[in-house]
A and B are shown apart, each in its own frame.
Chain A
């Protein structure tokens, strides 16, 4: 079997100590909570940090709080299962609950965390392979090589953002709370992600994502639809997250974010801007879904063909809009 490389494990007593430990090791250390993304990558020698700093045991990172207005604060180390058990979250933030509920399998959701899913490494089927396979294939930009294995003339890495919860967090206008040596800072969630498969997070090596804040829905409803081959386990082949505010069938506000079609979640702001003030009928949904599909640019580095994945963006976007609209109709008395 594949075995882990050697590493030191540090168990800080506080968040401040965790930050200090990261700073001490200057980029050689990584934080670990659930480890469901990190450990398999270490076994395949994609990542070989000398030091792991455990944060899963810190109470400060495990809280989950829903206010009466429906605003939610989720500790980065809260497991996806614990998030799913929160009835307030499910009621007020259905899109986020849908996304958390389709991450991998029940067993991995019991271990994997909310913060971990936001931050998971980008994926590529030239990269997520064993060391021996990558030697046979030739190393890529993400493993220190000179060229992208998928697009040999590309100057950049095209590994795919494969988080289910990141697109919906962006659609909801969430805020990430990050702590570093200089203290705490709030980051609009969209700014946490970068369009670079090889450096997809705007986090310093000594910074830790501590919390995710989802604003009160204020009458808007959200939904997330995931495209995948099988009914469990698989990473998204595409994802569509929608946050929708309507008044008597007319759109008041709307955000649409695609997942797994680029190295970061892709918000289609201009596209949905035109929906404001419109009735959200099937024709409007069809139009926006078609346009989203045209804009999506999945590449040939994930399961099934990128042609099919692009075509399916239309279907999942339409489905996400229908779900959000239905859920809003149901929520309004």
Chain B
């Protein structure tokens, strides 16, 4: 069986023959004589031509006849009580159709059922600069914007809370959220797997470090935009969302409409990266305005408003203590995190657990204690951003291991290798690891970069790091046992139509669905019509987050396509007299019949032709149940390794990245061109977070809510990227595929800082690494001090006693 080859710039690593043959057999059966025809081919996205020729209709391109335009009035204060909102003057402005305040829809909502504390328009108090307070709908945007200035809000100012330290103190005026009981602590977690103290006692060497990872925002090219109509009792909202399902649920709940009366359509997307997973205030506001005015209502956020809507990377302060034996075997690890959550919960409870969940997914930790804390502050709410809660601890963990290796006089790669997780094992915190190419990605990236034999030159260095990420969250955001993704296929005189709730946010999920269905039905991608991300027409998919879509919607699509194929094969057999087992499905033919002839035969025999497939993760992916155990388990994990090569200037402190090698455990590249795009995007974002990006505040006000002042790398700042795809098909992934949307970001950030250490002998234990931080560490060393820039201490946090979770027994630890 010949395996598909990667794109011109991709390289295939050696494949594990046993996993491969088993998977291919179950995945492709006898179709096309076993050779894959569509899967594995490097092809442009199915919507590439529309996108590059400007014909794609994005959310902001939609304007229905009679549309009125909505602008939100936002709070200028970080923390204040609202004593009153007077809209009379604004309502009288010519051209204004409606003015809305929170009183019209006070129901609280949030993307996570555990954090439903947001209102679409705040009624009692505002908690960050930029929080929506009122809305105007008018004949045009300019009128609405001017009318907003005529809304008079009476604020009573409260002392703002702007740091983790301040949030841990007793609130000066009042807590940001009343529900958090005289404290600004949102969430505390304390878990212990195995006997950590025993592990430390048995260690030859114990080390502690403190790290800080600054917050950053997604900076998708497309600003959020949505349009709503309400007609004949049906609400329809078109929005640039990553999860029409989340928006659907929030609209139904806040507006008091049955789910069946609400339809949410995800429009073609200009990027999400996690910033469009939460249901947003403007989506609910325009829906309410459409209901009250009967007019189509549209709202497109400005770039600055997107910065306030945020839901981006949490700033996280971290403390880690690890005990190792002389030969580099980890015996115990204790990891503490403190997350600056901003003003609302968003997915922050999950984020908190994610800052502790995946450490054991790369390293075999015999004993592990995790304590996490998320605080509320008067800043734009943090939430999920590419890598969701895992880039921060990954940064800390990888650098901590570098330092441990230095302590032991051991090669940092060797130290890691001695502790790598094994394929088909269960981690100390109960995660099921199946396919795992962590050794392979390490070998690939080392061989390509020449890391181990790099030549020494002043100011030049290389850094290595490794990481793991989920292929989809094992649990839905709200408790239910329904499938996570469903696909329906309709075949008839109109051709083949695939219906799925999955939302293509640029990651290429539409292309993946077309590829899989075309492969299964012996067609080309162009023969497959896609209807996706529409809660009124398509069966559910939970959304484009947690790198879940290829794995989950992909498996659902394969199931639906196989059912349809069986139907068509049966009809073709009956019509032609051939044996079903002798039929090949390939090249637009079902056995001796053309695809169209087979469809006619099937429709004549069976009537309407439809098939369905669905996917829910298998139950054995998690171990014991405890509070927080829903975070971490996944049907599969991807592994990435990176080497960063850079020059760091000891005079200016400036860092120039020369090249990044990145190897990724993709399982199988369904489309190597799309995989490459995701790998490069992840590297880009990682470099931005390592060197520049910072969502920071001054006097409670976001420092630079503009794309000129919020620094992110330009095309001219990007180094060469050499990507290496390791293809060892996962036994449960669609054709063996695993995720690529998030994992490749993770090792880049620590590898940059490790390379700076290699170049200059200093540690910058805090990102972004600005030139000044580099110089501060060099200056410190020159004065005989610590050659380091970074946080000095971790605060005292009232963590509860640890929930002790027994590690899996020996039998289940080896699956």
- Interface status of A331 (Cβ within 8 A of chain B): no
Q: Which of the candidate stretches A15-23, A69-77, A276-284, A303-311 sits at the interface with the other chain?
A: A303-311
Contacts of B701 in A (CB 8 A): 133, 136-137
Q: Are B129 and A136 in contact (CB under 8 A)?
A: yes
For B652, the chain A residues whose CB sits under 8 A away are: 312, 315
Contact with B along A204-243 (1 / 0, CB 8 A): 0000000000000000000000000111111000000000
Is the CB–CB distance between B708 and A233 below 8 Å?
A: yes
- A2 interface residue per 8 A CB criterion: yes
**B76 within 8 Å of A (CB atoms):** yes
Distance (Å) between the CB of A239 and the closest chain B CB? 15
Contact status A132-B717, CB under 8 Å? no
Assess whether A308 is in contact with B141, with CB atoms less than 8 Å apart: no
Q: A residues within 8 A CB of B400?
A: none
Structural contact, A1 and B300, CB atoms closer than 8 A: yes
Chain B residues whose C-beta falls within 8 Å of the C-beta of A332 in the assembled complex: none
| Closest partner residue, chain B, to A4 (CB atom) | B142
- B770 in contact with A304 (CB, 8 Å): yes
Contacts of A312 in B (CB 8 A): 652
Interface residue tally for chain A (C-beta within 8 Å): 26
B714 touching A308, Cβ below 8 Å: no
Q: Tell yes or no: A248 within 8 A of B by CB.
A: no
B692 lies within 8 A of chain A by Cβ: yes
Q: Is the CB of B704 within 8 A of A230?
A: no
Contacts of B713 in A (CB 8 A): 230
A305 to B714, CA, bound (A): 21
Measured CA separation A3–B146 after assembly (Å)? 12
Which of B304, B651, B692 interacts with A130 by CB under 8 Å?
Answer: B304
Residues of A within 8 A of B653 (CB): 308
0 or 1 for each of A116-160: is its CB under 8 Å from B? (1 = yes): 000000000100111011011100000000000000000000000
- Would you list which residues of chain A between 1 and 53 have a CB under 8 Å from chain B? 1-3
Q: Is the CB of B302 within 8 A of A233?
A: no
For the complex, give the distance between the alpha carbons of A129 and B704 in Å.
Answer: 8
In angstroms, Cα B308 to Cα A136, docked, is 13
Q: Which residues of A contact B772 (CB under 8 A)?
A: 304-305, 307-308
Is the pair A303, B304 in contact by a Cβ cutoff of 8 Å? Answer: no
Instruction: Flag whether B223 is at the interface (Cβ < 8 A).
Output: yes
Are B717 and A230 in contact, CB atoms less than 8 angstroms apart? yes
Nearest Cβ in chain B — how far from A7, in angstroms?
13
Determine whether the beta carbon of A230 is less than 8 Å from that of B302. no
Cβ-closest chain A residue relative to B700: A136
Query: A121 CB to closest chain B CB, in angstroms?
Result: 14
A177 to B775, CA, bound (A): 44
A290-321 Cβ-contact flags toward B at 8 Å (1 or 0): 00000000000001110110011001000000
Quick check: is B115 within 8 A (CB to CB) of the other chain? no
User: Cβ of B302: which chain A residues have Cβ within 8 Å of it?
Assistant: 1-2, 130
Contact A1 B714 (CB under 8 A): no
- For residue B177, CB closer than 8 A to chain A, the reply is no
- CB–CB A3/B141 < 8 A: yes
Give chain A residues whose Cβ lies under 8 Å from the Cβ of B106: none
User: Which residue on A lies nearest to B145, using beta carbons?
Assistant: A3
| B residues less than 8 Å from A137 (CB atoms) | 699, 701
Least Cβ–Cβ distance between A30 and chain B, in angstroms? 21
Q: Is the CB of B771 within 8 A of A125?
A: no
**In the complex the two chains form, what is the Cα distance from A307 to B653 in whole Å?**
13
Size category, B interface:
20 to 34
Q: Which residues of A contact B187 (CB under 8 A)?
A: none
Q: Which of A2, A130, A132, A307 has the most CB of B within 10 A?
A: A132
Q: How far is the CB of B800 from chain A (nearest CB, A)?
A: 38
Q: Are B716 and A229 in contact (CB under 8 A)?
A: no
Indicate if the CB atoms of A231 and B771 lie closer than 8 Å.
no
> B685-722, CB under 8 A of A: which get 1 and which 0?
00000001000000101111110110101101100000
Interface digits, B124-155 against A, CB 8 Å rule (1 contact, 0 not)? 00000100000000000110000000000000
CA distance A80 to B248 in the complex (A): 51
Q: How far is the CA of A193 from the CA of B772 in the complex (A)?
A: 31
Assembled-state Cα–Cα distance A95/B141 (Å): 46
Q: Is the CB of B676 closer than 8 A to any CB of chain A?
A: no
Query: CB within 8 Å of A: which of B182-205?
Result: none
A132 B76 Cβ-Cβ under 8 A: yes
B378 CB to closest chain A CB, in angstroms?
12
Contact B141 A315 (CB under 8 A): no
A125, B709: Cβ atoms closer than 8 Å = yes
Contact of B651 among A132, A135, A315 (CB under 8 A): A315
| Residue interface bits B638-667, CB-to-A below 8 A is 1, else 0 | 000000000000011100000000000000
- List of A residues within 8 angstroms of B651 by Cβ: 315
Among A2, A3, A136, A305, the most chain B Cβ lie within 10 Å of the Cβ of A136
Per-residue interface assignment for chain B, residues 473 to 504, with 1 indicating a CB less than 8 Å from any chain A CB and 0 otherwise: 00000000000000000000000000000000
Q: For residue B223, which residue of chain A has the nearest CB?
A: A1
- Contact at B76–A231, with CB atoms within 8 Å? no
Q: Does B77 contact A (CB under 8 A)?
A: yes
B374 interface contact, C-beta 8 A:
no
Give complex CA distance A305, B708 in Å.
17
Contact among A3, A128, A133, A229 with B711 in the assembled complex (CB-CB below 8 Å)? A229
A128-B709, A132-B74, A304-B772 as given contacts; A231 in contact with B717, CB under 8 Å: yes
Contact assessment for A311 and B775 in the assembled complex, using a CB-CB cutoff below 8 Å:
yes
Question: Which residues of B sit under 8 angstroms from A135, Cβ to Cβ?
Answer: 76
Q: Could you tell me the distance in whole angstroms from the C-beta of B122 to the nearest C-beta in chain A? A: 15
Q: Which residue of B lies closest to A136 (CB)?
A: B76
What's the minimum C-beta distance from B383 to chain A, rounded to whole angstroms? 22
**Nearest 7 A-B pairs (CB), nearest first?**
A136-B76, A308-B772, A231-B716, A232-B716, A305-B772, A230-B714, A232-B714
28 A-B Cβ contacts within 8 A? A1-B300, A2-B302, A2-B303, A3-B141, A125-B703, A130-B302, A130-B304, A130-B706, A132-B74, A132-B304, A133-B304, A133-B701, A133-B702, A136-B76, A136-B77, A137-B699, A137-B701, A230-B717, A231-B716, A232-B716, A234-B708, A234-B711, A304-B770, A305-B772, A307-B772, A308-B772, A315-B651, A315-B652
| Residues of B that sit less than 8 Å from A by CB | 74, 76-77, 129, 141-142, 223, 300, 302-304, 651-653, 692, 699, 701-706, 708-709, 711, 713-714, 716-717, 770-772, 775
Known pairs A125-B703, A303-B709, A304-B770; list 5 more (Cβ under 8 Å): A2-B302, A130-B706, A133-B702, A229-B692, A230-B713
